[in-house]
Amino acid sequence: MNYENLLYERNDGLVRITINRPEKLNALNRETVSEIGAALTAFEADDQARALILTGSGSRAFVAGADIAELAEQSPRAAQEYALFGQGVLTRLERCRKATIAAVNGFALGGGLELAMACQIRVAAEDAYLGLPEVTLGLIPGFGGTQRLPRLVGRGKALEMIMTGDRIDAREALRIGLVNRVVPADQLLGICEKMARTIASRGPVAVQFAIEAVNRGLDVPVEEGMFIEAGLFGIVAATEDMLEGTQAFLEKRKAEFKGR
């Protein structure tokens, strides 16, 4: 597929999706969100692709927010429909059964932070700034920000960020648990690629089931989450990958996983 606002690259088992609207600081419009959904479909359908890195074009912004010119022209009904559309795409990203890593370069504001929060892992450059400034425009986050941010950093800190609209730097984001790591800007993609390759080298079925166990377990009482984990543990124990992994360990060699 040809994309107008994205770059889609696959190198061995790794896919990199780059939001490519540098003249707009990679701001999200409807077309870009739609293309993210299409790129995610391609990634999920590619049996050889095991990990995804999502980033923004250039050094100034991961995604600096929504396209305000587009938002300003929407009716209330259209705005609600657009929010539901964007939430659907980001929920698909959040529930992806393969590894997803946000490489946050520069500004990750509004929809940009919402996009990053939908990834499983977030790595930020030292010069990154993150925030949900929608209230400064008389709006609230619409792509899941009011739901994902409290789950990541807690209710109080999330409300502070959402109600003030203030941005925070990468070190503060690390301190409150919003990002996993902070790294030098010139090493961001290299470090994310190394992490992605490490994950891609692990048993792919096991990685998928681990993601599923965490995602499903977060929405239920811990006892039910334990039951979900045990069921998935039993299923993965019947895979060829489990046999290969345990045999490779006993034989002191590198496992060659097939994803079966």
Q: How confident is the model at residue 250 (pLDDT cuts 50, 70, 90)?
A: confident
Do 78 and 183 fall into the same domain?
yes
Domain identity same for 195 and 121: yes
Q: Is 79 left (phi over 0), alpha (psi -120 to 50) or beta?
A: alpha
Half-sphere exposure of 226 (CA within 13 A, CB side): 3
> How large a percentage of the chain has pLDDT more than 90?
76
CA distances (Å), origin 130, targets 4, 65, 75, 99, 135: 26, 10, 28, 22, 15
What would the pLDDT profile of 162-194 be if each residue is shown by its tens digit?
999 999 999 999 999 999 999 999 999 999 999
Residues 49-77, mean pLDDT to the nearest whole number: 89
CATH of the domain at 123: 3.90.226.10
Average pLDDT in the 124-137 region?
96
Over the chain, what is the mean pLDDT? 93
Residue 67 lies in a domain: yes
Q: Does any domain span residue 17?
A: yes
Mind listing the pLDDT tens digit for each residue in 213-242?
A: 999 998 899 999 999 999 998 988 888 888
Rounded to an integer, the average pLDDT of 83-92 is 96
| Cβ partners under 8 Å of residue 241, min gap 6 | 203, 204, 205, 206, 255, 257, 258, 259, 260
The residue range of the domain holding 33 is 6-200
| pLDDT 10s digits, 144-165 | 999 999 999 999 999 999 999 9
Same domain, yes or no: 176 and 218: no
**CB contact at 8 A, 39 and 8:** yes
User: Using an 8 Å Cβ cutoff, are 64 and 112 in contact?
Assistant: yes
Whether residue 87 is found in the same domain as residue 38: yes
Tokens representing 202?
Answer: 């692990």
Tell me if 1 is assigned to some domain.
no
In eight-state DSSP terms, residue 143 is S
The one-letter code for the residue type at 237 is A
Q: Catalytic residue at 244? A: no
Residues 43 and 94 reside in one and the same domain = yes
CATH number at residue 241: 1.10.12
Neighbours of 136 (CB within 10 A): 12
On whether residue 255 sits in a domain, the answer given is no
pLDDT for 199-210, tens place per residue? 998 888 999 999
Options 4, 9, 94, 114, the catalytic residue? 114
Please, are residues 217 and 233 in contact by the beta-carbon 8 Å criterion?
A: no
Residue 165 within a domain: yes
Query: What order of strands is seen across the sheet that includes strand 61-63?
Result: 61-63, 107-109, 129-131, 168-169
Q: Is residue 155 part of a domain?
A: yes
Beta bridge partners of 123: 103, 181
Structure tokens at 30: 């409807």
pLDDT confidence bin for 74, thresholds 50/70/90: confident
Would you mind telling me the total number of residues written for the chain in this entry? 260
Number of domains in the chain: 2
134 catalytically annotated:
yes
Amino acid occupying residue 131: G
Catalytic residue, chosen from 35, 94, 126, 134, is 134
